[in-house]
Structures are given as structure tokens and as C-alpha cells.
């Protein structure tokens, strides 16, 4: 699959010292970002700031051994603590240590922080100090699909770039696929490593989930029984989308002369419902042992 660069979104004559890449976290997105990092670190850049892929810097980056590059990720999908930035443990050299060093192979240093929204408050405060006084020829890349979890003071000091998914898969070209379906699977799954059969299976689940709702004229018991599987989070996101689509269509209905009144109908109940959804999704993401049927029962009572 072709991996396009970020050239159209970045001013290579004035590269920012800190970027926030808002993306789905797929292999495709990371490949784009890594190629940009190679462009910065390459010592024999070609025309248009392209990396050569042949110098010591590029070769060592390809083998994940470039001394001028540091990648941080949550440990077991938990959090990124201040120790990872200071280098308090043996897992990495620490961000501050790398930034204070002289580059060994390149003329620059790059730090890439995956799932930056999982930085603890203490780590974010520490990172903020680094961003306020950036080291010379150093660059910090934050990667996140949930940038709203980062402090506003951090967001104000980074250049934000949104990486949209590449919907160039043959399965999407050959079929008329709901736009929301394509957006949703890019957020929840790594589409770049999926087979056509796996994508078709998810499409089947998507259609079945929508059909089970039947514009809310459903049997709660049937839904609870059929949704209680490993794709529950996927189904809950479909439910949220379906509800908002229904609400937005009603609001757009010309027969409502005062749309603000309609938009406030049972607003408190809607927020409670969304809180329930977010709560169960958080429990699923954190792999907390829960009784899914009881959780679903409370959610559909609200609906």
C-alpha cells in the first residue's frame, strides 16, 4: 500500500519544534510520521527535503538504533509517567537527556511520544517546561487520537496536524460503504493489516447492529443478548452515532420553528445516557471485569 508523505501539510523551511499529530494510530499513520522524522534526521537529503534512505542516520533509524531518536510509549497501554521523560528507569534514556546531548549521527534530535494523551498530569507539566524552553535543533512529536486529554497549555505550544485515513482499500472501492463505517474502523482497528475478509466481517457486524436498533423500536433483551460479544465497544459507537444522526435530522426538520427549544428537550437525560456509554467503554478499554449484560440493561433503560 502506498504511504503518502506529510509534505503538503508541513513547511519544511520553518519546521516547528513541536508537533501534535492527531491520527488513528494505525501502521499507515505511524509510517507517515516516521518518514517525516527520517526527513529531519537524514544527513544527505535529496530535493524537496526527501530522506536518502542510505546514510548512517537513515539506516540506523530503519533498524531502530538511531541514537538521535527516542520513542516513548505507554507501558502495557497504561500511562506515561514523568520517569519516562526524565529517564528515571532503564527503559529509555529519557527525553531531557536526549535533548541535552549533542547529535551523534544527524544535525538534529527527535522525540516521538505515542499515545501522548496517556501522559500523567505530572508528566504533562514536565513536558510543558521542555516545550517552553526548547533545545536547539530538537523536535518533539506527540501522537494522539484524543488530544482533548492534553492540557491546553501544551496544545497552545504545538503545531497540530490531522492525519486523515487513506480510504484507498479495494474493499471500499468496490462497495458502497457507509462513510461512518470507514471512519469508525480506522479509529478502532489497524486497517493496514486487515484482510478483505476481516473488513467484510466488520461491515456485517455494522449492518447487523444498525438493523437491530430499527430506529429504537427494538427488543431490549434481543439486543443485550446479541451485543454481548468482543465487538461491544464497536457496537456502542454505532449506537451513539445513530442517536446523534436521529437527533440532528429532527433538528433540521423545517417544521420546528424554534430549533433551540428542541435541542434542549431531555438534555439532562441525554447527557446521563452518554455518561453511561462512556463509562462502560472506559471499563472495556481498561479491561475491567464487568457484567456487560447489566451495563447494557441500564443503558437501554435510558434509551
Cell matching residue 59:
539506516
With cut-offs at 50, 70 and 90, classify the pLDDT of residue 168.
very low
Residue with cell 462513510: 179
In this model, does residue 192 exceed pLDDT 90? no
Residue 266 φ/ψ region, left for φ over 0, alpha for ψ in the -120 to 50 degree band, beta for the rest = left
Q: Supply the pLDDT for residue 264.
A: 46
pLDDT, tens digit (0-9, with 9 covering 90-100), for 88-122: 766 666 788 888 888 999 999 999 999 999 999 99
Q: Supply the pLDDT for residue 39.
A: 92
pLDDT, tens digit (0-9, with 9 covering 90-100), for 44-79: 987 777 899 999 999 999 999 999 999 998 875 578
Neighbours of 40 (CB within 10 A): 22
In this model, does residue 176 exceed pLDDT 90? no
Q: Which residue has the higher pLDDT, 175 or 44?
A: 44
Q: What is the Cα–Cα distance from 69 to 37, expressed in whole angstroms?
A: 9
Q: What is the mean pLDDT of the chain?
A: 75
**Closest listed residue to residue 224, CA positions, set 289, 296, 277:** 296
In this model, does residue 80 exceed pLDDT 80? yes
Q: Which residue has the higher pLDDT, 81 or 92?
A: 81
With cut-offs at 50, 70 and 90, classify the pLDDT of residue 186.
low
Mean pLDDT value of segment 150-155: 90
Cell matching residue 134:
526548547
Residue with cell 465487538: 231
* b/e sequence 216-237, b meaning 16+ C-beta within 10 Å: eeeeeeebbeebeeebbebbbb
CA atoms within 13 A on the CB side of 197: 0
The alpha helices in 164-231, defined as continuous H runs, are: 170-174, 179-188, 196-213, 220-227
Q: Which residue has the higher pLDDT, 204 or 246?
A: 204
Q: Supply the pLDDT for residue 3.
A: 47
pLDDT, tens digit (0-9, with 9 covering 90-100), for 287-298: 556 566 666 666
In this model, does residue 303 exceed pLDDT 50? yes
Residue with cell 434509551: 303
Cα Rg for the chain, rounded, in angstroms?
23
pLDDT, tens digit (0-9, with 9 covering 90-100), for 269-284: 555 556 666 666 666 5
Q: Supply the pLDDT for residue 165.
A: 59
Q: Which residue has the higher pLDDT, 171 or 182?
A: 182
**Which of 46-50, 240-244, 266-270 tops mean pLDDT?**
46-50
pLDDT, tens digit (0-9, with 9 covering 90-100), for 199-217: 888 888 888 877 776 644 4
Domains and CATH numbers, the chain: 16-162 (3.40.50.300), 170-302 (no CATH)
Say what percent of the chain tops pLDDT 90.
Answer: 24
Q: Which residue has the higher pLDDT, 66 or 238?
A: 66
Q: Supply the pLDDT for residue 175.
A: 56
Q: Assess contact for 49 and 39: CB atoms under 8 A.
A: yes
Amino acid at each position: 500500500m502506498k504511504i503518502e508523505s506529510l509534505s503538503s501539510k508541513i513547511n519544511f523551511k520553518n519546521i516547528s519544534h513541536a508537533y501534535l499529530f492527531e491520527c488513528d494510530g494505525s501502521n499507515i499513520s505511524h509510517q507517515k510520521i516516521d518518514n517525516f522524522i527520517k526527513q529531519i534526521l537524514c544527513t544527505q537529503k535529496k530535493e524537496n527535503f526527501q530522506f536518502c534512505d542510505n546514510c548512517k542516520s537513515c539506516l540506523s533509524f530503519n533498524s531502530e538504533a538511531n541514537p538521535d531518536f527516542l520513542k516513548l510509549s505507554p507501558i502495557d497501554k497504561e500511562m506515561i509517567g514523568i520517569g519516562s521523560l526524565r529517564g528515571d528507569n532503564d527503559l529509555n534514556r529519557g527525553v531531557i537527556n536526549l535533548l541535552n546531548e549533542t547529535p551523534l549521527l544527524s544535525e538534529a534530535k527527535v522525540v516521538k511520544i505515542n499515545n501522548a494523551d496517556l501522559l500523567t498530569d505530572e508528566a504533562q507539566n514536565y513536558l510543558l517546561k521542555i516545550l517552553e524552553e526548547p533545545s536547539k535543533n530538537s523536535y518533539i512529536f506527540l501522537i494522539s487520537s484524543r488530544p482533548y486529554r492534553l492540557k491546553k497549555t501544551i496544545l497552545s505550544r504545538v503545531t497540530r496536524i490531522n492525519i486523515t485515513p487513506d480510504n484507498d482499500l479495494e474493499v471500499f472501492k468496490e462497495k458502497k460503504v457507509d462513510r461512518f463505517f470507514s471512519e469508525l474502523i480506522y479509529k478502532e482497528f489497524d486497517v493496514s493489516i486487515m484482510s478483505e475478509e476481516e473488513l467484510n466481517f466488520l461491515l456485517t457486524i455494522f449492518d447487523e447492529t444498525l438493523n437491530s436498533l430499527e430506529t429504537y423500536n427494538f427488543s431490549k433483551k434481543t439486543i443485550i443478548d446479541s451485543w454481548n460479544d468482543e465487538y461491544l465497544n464497536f457496537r456502542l459507537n454505532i449506537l451513539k452515532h445513530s442517536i446523534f444522526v436521529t437527533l440532528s435530522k429532527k433538528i433540521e426538520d423545517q417544521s420546528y420553528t424554534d430549533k433551540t427549544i428542541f435541542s434542549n428537550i431531555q438534555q439532562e437525560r441525554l447527557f446521563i445516557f452518554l455518561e453511561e456509554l462512556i463509562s462502560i467503554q472506559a471499563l472495556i478499554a481498561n479491561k475491567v471485569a464487568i457484567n456487560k449484560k447489566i451495563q447494557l440493561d441500564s443503558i437501554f433503560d435510558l434509551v
